[in-house]
Chains A and B, each alone.
Chain A
Amino acid sequence: MSKRKPYVRKMGSTWWTKNNFHTMYIVRELSSLVILAYSVILLFGLNALRGGEAAFDAWFAGLTNPLAIVFHVITLLWTLYHATTWFSLAPKAANLWIGEKRVADNVITGSLYAVLGGVTVIGLLIAFVL
């Protein structure tokens, strides 16, 4: 008779707290909470914009609340964390070749950072200058 009795370990729902790599994965995934919230805030803003000046000003007044500003600082940092993970993983999903040479991972990652920098500068130029 077999004495086999394999023991199966249960993962539970807190597995991601037990390993740093897994914790940072969940931190990455949960950046979607603030990214989702920001999209919804923009959508409400767009709705307010279409509701006329009074509605828009009321929406904007909400944004000037100190708590709202704190929320947006957190949102910005967490979204930037998403960006760094996105850029560093992007080369894995791309198999780009120029002639007989594969485009190096740091070229892809570096280009994405350059685009982020460019978009940010253009955005700020539009906000301040135009």
Chain B
Amino acid sequence: MSQVMKVEIQRYRPELDKEPFWQSYDVPYTKEMSVLEALAYIKDELDPTLSYRWSCRMAICGSCGMMVNGVPKLGCKTFLRDYPQGMKIEALANFPIERDLVVDMSDFIAKLEAIKPYIIRETEQTPEDGCSIQTPKEMEQYRQFSMCINCGLCYAACPQYGLNDKFMGPAALALLHRYNNDTRDEGKEERMAFLNAHEGAWGCTFVGYCSDVCPKKVDPAAAIQLGKVDSAKDYVIAMLKPGE
């Protein structure tokens, strides 16, 4: 037995509209239906002009981030049954809207790239050098932060990024922490300037919403606070050894 839900979607068609507007669709649904499937129904059956991003449908590609009743969500991991009062869907907050639910994430991607999110070695290792062994404790220092799927929900949750997009933001700082705390990495010095800046860890006021909305249970807020501790130590060392 299927029910019908009124789904309101914020539309924006750059060639026609000055600003976004709300449009309402009646979507028949069963209890298994995700928001992503509802959007597919709308596009296939009701309105082919609707634009949205998606790929894997299983919460790993990070493409279908959107605001559902004002909360950042992955469309594929959010179900209509949990919104008996109806739902209002709009493009992921804090990013420029390209069209309908599609946002421009290039600033976010640039920030992820900037912090050098890869293992840096002073001398290249070859397979002949063997494995890089880590203890469970060493691995725990970064493991959860490596689960990030770059969906951008934490940026939509972060008022500091919304207020000032110079701020590096949760995912980039969590990734920075992830590589700085990997025993295989030797590139910490190249990343500290990002962490130490006003736009780095110090732009965070510990709202904590980034960790709350993360669909992969990564805790960027924790990474940033631990980053502040790292940066504070670095600050003291720089004071003791000026000119270095």
Q: In the complex they form, do A and B come into direct contact, defined as C-beta atoms under 8 angstroms apart?
A: yes
Q: Which residues of A contact B (CB under 8 A)?
A: 3-9, 11, 15-16, 18-19, 21-22, 25, 29, 89, 91-93, 95, 97, 100, 102
Once the chains bind, are B93 and A9 in contact (CB under 8 Å)?
yes
Once the chains bind, are A89 and B206 in contact (CB under 8 Å)?
yes
* CA of A8 to CA of B98, assembled, Å: 9
**A-binding segment of B125-133, B189-197, B220-228:** B220-228
* CA of A36 to CA of B59, assembled, Å: 45
Once the chains bind, are A21 and B229 in contact (CB under 8 Å)?
no
**A-binding segment of B14-22, B31-39, B73-81:** B14-22
Contacts of B12 in A (CB 8 A): 7
Given contacts A9-B94, A9-B97, 9 further A-B contacts (CB under 8 A): A4-B14, A9-B93, A15-B159, A16-B159, A29-B205, A89-B221, A92-B221, A92-B222, A92-B225
B207 within 8 A of A: yes
Contacts of B14 in A (CB 8 A): 3-7
Contacts of B211 in A (CB 8 A): 92
> What are 11 A-B pairs with beta-carbon distances under 8 A?
A5-B14, A5-B15, A6-B97, A6-B104, A7-B14, A15-B162, A21-B208, A25-B207, A25-B208, A93-B222, A95-B226
Interface majority SS (helix, strand, loop, mixed), chain A: mixed
Once the chains bind, are A19 and B97 in contact (CB under 8 Å)?
no
Once the chains bind, are A4 and B98 in contact (CB under 8 Å)?
yes
Once the chains bind, are A22 and B159 in contact (CB under 8 Å)?
yes
For B17, the closest partner residue in chain A by CB is A7
Contacts of A11 in B (CB 8 A): 94, 159, 162-163
> Given that A15-B162, A22-B209, A25-B209 are contacting pairs, would A6 and B98 also be in contact in the complex, using a CB cutoff of 8 Å?
yes
Q: Which bracket fits the contact residues of B?
A: 35 or more
For A92, the closest partner residue in chain B by CB is B222
B241 within 8 A of A: no
Shortest beta-carbon distance, A80 to chain B, in Å? 19
* CA of A100 to CA of B228, assembled, Å: 24
Once the chains bind, are B96 and A6 in contact (CB under 8 Å)?
yes
> Given that A15-B162, A92-B225 are contacting pairs, would A3 and B15 also be in contact in the complex, using a CB cutoff of 8 Å?
yes
Once the chains bind, are B97 and A93 in contact (CB under 8 Å)?
no
* CA of A92 to CA of B225, assembled, Å: 7
For A88, the closest partner residue in chain B by CB is B208
B147 within 8 A of A: no
For A101, the closest partner residue in chain B by CB is B137
Shortest beta-carbon distance, A86 to chain B, in Å? 10
For A21, the closest partner residue in chain B by CB is B209
Contacts of A21 in B (CB 8 A): 157, 207-209, 212
Shortest beta-carbon distance, B202 to chain A, in Å? 14
Once the chains bind, are B70 and A18 in contact (CB under 8 Å)?
yes
For A29, the closest partner residue in chain B by CB is B205
For A3, the closest partner residue in chain B by CB is B15
B140 within 8 A of A: yes
